[in-house]
Amino acid sequence: MALDERALFTDKPETRQGRYACPKCRRTGDYSIRWVRRLKKDRLPPGADEVDRAKFAKLRDYLLRLDDEVTCKTCGKKFEIPSQQSMVFLDQLAGLPNDEDLEKEIAAAADAPEDGGEKAAPPPRFRPNSSGWK
């Protein structure tokens, strides 16, 4: 007998923040997006056959997005979430940097000079001719 997916996972609803731009007014805002976290159960339910055991061994934890549209906070127009991913495996999500660390890294890179010192003088061919035009 084949088992239903609900028998293999535990579902936890959660809300995650996402930053999206409205296609009408072009303003960017942070929106709360509803997701369901599906965690693999630690044991196979009773009544499982060999096919179910093989499937259970390959299962991974994942997030499933519930919201497909959000309403713009500025103009009130509904728009689709511009993302191809409505499902994300949790092991893929763990390797990504979070938004706060990314912002700090960008700010640090913008403040630090690239060569560690002052700007180098341009080559002679790009300097203005001191004798003027003749």
Residue 78 confidence (pLDDT): 92
Instruction: Report d(CA 86, CA 64) in Å as an integer.
Output: 6
Q: Could you tell me if residue 132 is inside a domain? A: no
Residue ranges of the chain with per-residue pLDDT less than 70: 1-2, 94-99, 112-119, 125, 129-134
Residue 12 confidence (pLDDT): 92
Could you read off the pLDDT of 80-115 as tens digits, one per residue? 987 777 888 888 776 666 667 777 777 777 776 555
Q: What residues are paired with 80 via a beta bridge?
A: 69
At residue 16's C-alpha, the angle toward residues 13 and 22, to 5°, is 125
* Torsion angle, alpha carbons of 81, 85, 89, 93, to 10: -60
| Number of compact structural domains in the chain | 1
Residue 118 confidence (pLDDT): 64
User: What range defines the domain where residue 9 resides?
Assistant: 5-113
Q: Could you tell me if residue 134 is inside a domain? A: no
Count Cβ atoms below 10 Å from residue 38 Cβ, excluding itself.
20
Taken in order 40, 44, 48, 52, the sign of the CA dihedral is positive
Q: What phi and psi, each to the nearest 5 degrees, are found at residue 89?
A: -75, 140
Q: Could you tell me if residue 118 is inside a domain? A: no
The rounded percent of the chain whose pLDDT value lies above 70 is 83
Q: Could you tell me if residue 119 is inside a domain? A: no
For the entire predicted model, the pTM comes to 0.62
Q: Could you tell me if residue 13 is inside a domain? A: yes
Q: Could you tell me if residue 55 is inside a domain? A: yes
Instruction: Report d(CA 77, CA 72) in Å as an integer.
Output: 5
Instruction: Report d(CA 47, CA 7) in Å as an integer.
Output: 11
Please give the structure tokens belonging to residue 64: 């499933």
